[in-house]
Amino acid sequence: MQAINSHSVAARKTAERLRPPSVVGVKPVVMRAGRPVIFSGGAAVPQSAYFDRIMRGDWEDRVREFVESGVKVFHLTSPHGGNDFFDSAFWTDDGVYPVEDPSRFPYTLERLARFILSSQPEAQFYIGLGTSVPIKWAEHWKSEMQTDEDGRTYREASLASDRYLRDLSVYLKHLVSYCETRPWSNRIVGYMVVPFGEGCLPLNIAGKMFDCSPAADRAFREWVRSRYRTVERLRKTWGERSLKFEAVRVPRDSEWLRRRAEAVPFIGGRPLDAASIPNNGLARHRGLFHWVEPSQMAAEIDYARFMRDMSFRWLRTIARSIKAECSHRGRNRFVAVDAVKVPLMGWEILSAFDGIGDGHSFPSMLFLSGAWDVGPLLDEPCLDGFITPADYTARMVGCAYEAEGVTDSLLLRGKTMVLENDARTYVGAGIRDQGAFRTDEEVEAGLKRNAALTLSRGFQSYWCNVGSSYFHSPGIHRTIAKLVRTLDRLNEWPHRETVHAVAMVLDDTSFQFEDLTSGYQYLSVVWQRVIGLAHCGIPYRIFLLSDLERSNFPDYRVFLFPNLFRVDGRTLGLLRRKVFRDGRLAIFGPATGITDGRILGARGAGAVLGVEMELFPRQAARHVVVRHRGHPITAGMPANGIYGDSLVYGPVLAPAEGAVEKSGACALGDAILCWFINRPGLFIREFGRGCAGNGRPGRRRDGDYGVLWSCAMPLPSYLLRAAARYAGCHVWCEEDDVVYASESVVAIHTAKAGRRVLKLPGPRDVRDAETGRLLARNSRLLRMTLKSPDTRIFAVGSKMASGLRLPVSICR
């Protein structure tokens, strides 16, 4: 194959890139008994897989260990171009697309494939590749690179650059064409695309806000003109009387930061008179609150909308280019991209990874990168799924493993997540990383826990070495070998969803009502999951608010809405149709209904909660002292329990004076906010016959439900457990252990040794998922003694599926 050196080819194919290609062949993801299974060549692809991305040193030895442990699926990584880690051997300069040269790149795709096949003749491959421009391209087209306000350029091209997307499409098709003409092309399962920023702008990851490159400025100006059509509409929305389209440019960090610190906030559509707020000192409030009326940041919100369009265009270009070339070759390969990290809303990445940065004031990275309101992107026909690492926040034993990206939302669409299981261990440089497993015992408990996540939630994973030699040890491979058999045995095991779970529902449009900082979302989404959901003894799921619109959304007993800031008629209608019924409980965070999408107020909160609420123009840290006045929810909770966090944010929503009692709700806790507010901080109100577990007789129907509201987050595990029980949700474990569960796979993970009782929602046959041995028949309880640490995984059902091929001696 000859190298391509022509921009004319890209120009002719631009139109093709912007529409989905016609794909051929069988869909690469097939739903089998509720579980999305990746297929290739008419057969299911094993779940167990390995990706060694560092390609140096003892690469062959590391791969051979996985072959010996039974792995048959491997990821091949495209060789780097020689200038840095993100260069590609298939795109080396502006308009230059060669093929890999073994004299320059020792670890070529050809060499990787041939070596693996020599060790494992049945091997199958995913092709791993990046999306970065070559260094030489970046030097030539500096104006097309991401650029911050200070003029610093970053390693990645601007997502607004048409030139970049055009050349990226040519590169991707060129690389796919090469792979699909290799002698081992019949072994290719699909393509795994890993952009440098993993779906976020590197300049946002670095703590900067706006892409000020000439390419972005030019495209934003055109986008604004197209959106508003007339300059009068633009001036009205942006509040600038003399603005012209020609003067539109991307907002600047310094301008927004100054306005956030100095502007008079609006509440109820009017400027706040700070002098009218009583206080005990001489200082007056200054600057915007955390929640902001959109009129005060119209240009910044438009920039985020623009970036959403650019981000979606970029991701669709990637997927459609790959699919188009595969279709041209008569193949329909699996295509996934590392992007869409909605479960990490508010992620303060510099603080989390490096212990630096601006903490809770860190920029709203997903919003500014365009990775929000992602439901339409998930429906893109050329994207079969996504790949993401697991959340790095809390990977150590005793914590719950969770993908950075959407998982449960993909399952609703018949697609799948493929989780990068790059668990660090005591081998190589891994021990230096937070959460690294320090012993073989921690490795076994941790890697089994990671497998339990994917098996119980119905998606995929692969072991990944991204830094040194995480799995290069005989002790570790004793666990790997066991897990290979377990994962492949359960590859087509049914996935039957349980209603006995907590569904955390995220409004991924909610960023547009905040001041572009990340603190509240990090607290209420990431830490709520890590601290509360993961340890309440009940499995959880993570969905988008827009997923509730889907007809196949499961009937969970408990819903948690941490960031439902906007409440309008459409939101209320959705809640009434899908949540406010059948004895369910909906749990709401402190800013629920704080805006109708236009102004800040308390009306939306009152409409959702059935309790009159008041909006205080104050900022405060939030804590709740639990009341013990005989309600079943608080009866089993710790005496005088206090929960909350020291993050200061506002304005403050609280019940109006006497409103809880007047509405018939029950106060479960008092708020610790500030000197001028003395209101309940936790209450429950029930409607109709109320929650399914409240003890009242009668079947629950439409209009029978309960709402629980808290002024502070994150909610502790013991509160979630008690509230879920009151909603009629089954509690699987009374300890704060990690429980992963569906109606077909149940697992428990702990860092505490001792006796445990794992309770099932009904009589079930239970088998050890590792061996297939029958442990219990028609049983509701599993009693066991656990080590520290430990993980147990169980396959639940009347009998093991015939396709699992268990030894006869085990099945008896």
User: Rounded to 5 degrees, what are φ and ψ at 632?
Assistant: -60, -30
Which amino acid type is present at position 48? S
> pLDDT, tens digit, for every residue of 724-740?
999 999 999 999 999 99
Give the pLDDT of residue 803: 37
Q: 798 falls in which pLDDT band (50, 70, 90)?
A: low
pLDDT top residue among 23 and 631? 631
Average pLDDT over all residues of the chain: 93
User: Is the predicted pLDDT of residue 807 greater than 50, yes or no?
Assistant: no
Which residues are CB-contacts of 441 (< 8 A; sequence separation ≥ 6)?
787, 789
> pLDDT, tens digit, for every residue of 92-113?
999 999 999 888 888 899 999 9
Q: 1 falls in which pLDDT band (50, 70, 90)?
A: very low
Question: Which CATH code fits 738-811?
Answer: 2.60.40.1180
Residue 512 corresponds to which tokens in the numbers above? 């547009």
In degrees, to the nearest 5, what angle opens at C-alpha 224 toward C-alphas 223 and 230?
Answer: 125
User: Is the predicted pLDDT of residue 272 greater than 50, yes or no?
Assistant: yes
The rounded distance, in Å, linking the Cα atoms of 778 and 760 is: 10
User: Is the predicted pLDDT of residue 533 greater than 80, yes or no?
Assistant: yes
pLDDT top residue among 258 and 357? 258
> pLDDT, tens digit, for every residue of 313-365?
999 999 999 999 999 999 999 999 999 999 999 999 999 999 998 899 999 99
pLDDT top residue among 279 and 25? 279
Give the pLDDT of residue 4: 45
Indicate the fold that domain 502-726 takes in CATH. Answer: Rossmann fold (3.40.50)
Q: Report, as an integer, the average pLDDT of 229-250.
A: 96
User: Is the predicted pLDDT of residue 231 greater than 80, yes or no?
Assistant: yes
Residue 660 corresponds to which tokens in the numbers above? 């809880």
Q: Report, as an integer, the average pLDDT of 522-528.
A: 98
The rounded distance, in Å, linking the Cα atoms of 111 and 76 is: 10
Alpha-carbon separation of residue 246 from 217, 223, 230, 310 (angstroms): 11, 12, 12, 21
Which residues are CB-contacts of 364 (< 8 A; sequence separation ≥ 6)?
346, 511, 514, 516, 517, 518, 521
User: Is the predicted pLDDT of residue 57 greater than 90, yes or no?
Assistant: no
Q: Report, as an integer, the average pLDDT of 642-660.
A: 97
Q: Report, as an integer, the average pLDDT of 747-761.
A: 97
User: Rounded to 5 degrees, what are φ and ψ at 9?
Assistant: -60, -45
Give the pLDDT of residue 748: 98
User: Is the predicted pLDDT of residue 88 greater than 80, yes or no?
Assistant: yes
Percent of the chain at pLDDT exceeding 70? 96
Q: How many CB atoms lie within 10 A of CB 33?
A: 12
> pLDDT, tens digit, for every residue of 386-442?
999 999 999 999 999 999 999 999 999 999 999 999 999 999 888 889 999 999 999
User: Is the predicted pLDDT of residue 513 greater than 50, yes or no?
Assistant: yes
> pLDDT, tens digit, for every residue of 443-487?
999 999 999 999 999 999 999 998 889 999 999 999 999 999 999
Low-confidence winner among 60-69, 75-84, 92-101, 154-163 (lowest mean pLDDT)? 75-84
Domain boundaries of the chain, sorted by first residue = 502-726, 738-811
Q: Angle, nearest 10°, between helix axes 298-328 and 162-180?
A: 30
The rounded distance, in Å, linking the Cα atoms of 811 and 407 is: 32
> pLDDT, tens digit, for every residue of 688-718?
999 999 999 999 999 999 999 999 999 999 9
Low-confidence winner among 3-12, 240-249, 613-622 (lowest mean pLDDT)? 3-12
User: Is the predicted pLDDT of residue 274 greater than 80, yes or no?
Assistant: no
**Which residue has tokens 């002098």?**
275
Across 594-704, where does the E strand assignment appear? 613-616, 620-626, 642-649, 652-655, 666-672, 680-687
In degrees, to the nearest 5, what angle opens at C-alpha 353 toward C-alphas 143 and 533?
Answer: 120
User: Is the predicted pLDDT of residue 76 greater than 80, yes or no?
Assistant: yes
User: Is the predicted pLDDT of residue 3 greater than 50, yes or no?
Assistant: no
User: Is the predicted pLDDT of residue 780 greater than 50, yes or no?
Assistant: yes
**Which residue has tokens 């959460």?**
435
Torsion, Cα of 66, 47, 526, 148 (10° steps): 70
Percent of the chain at pLDDT exceeding 90? 88
Give the pLDDT of residue 18: 58
- Please say whether the beta carbons of 333 and 191 come within 8 A: yes
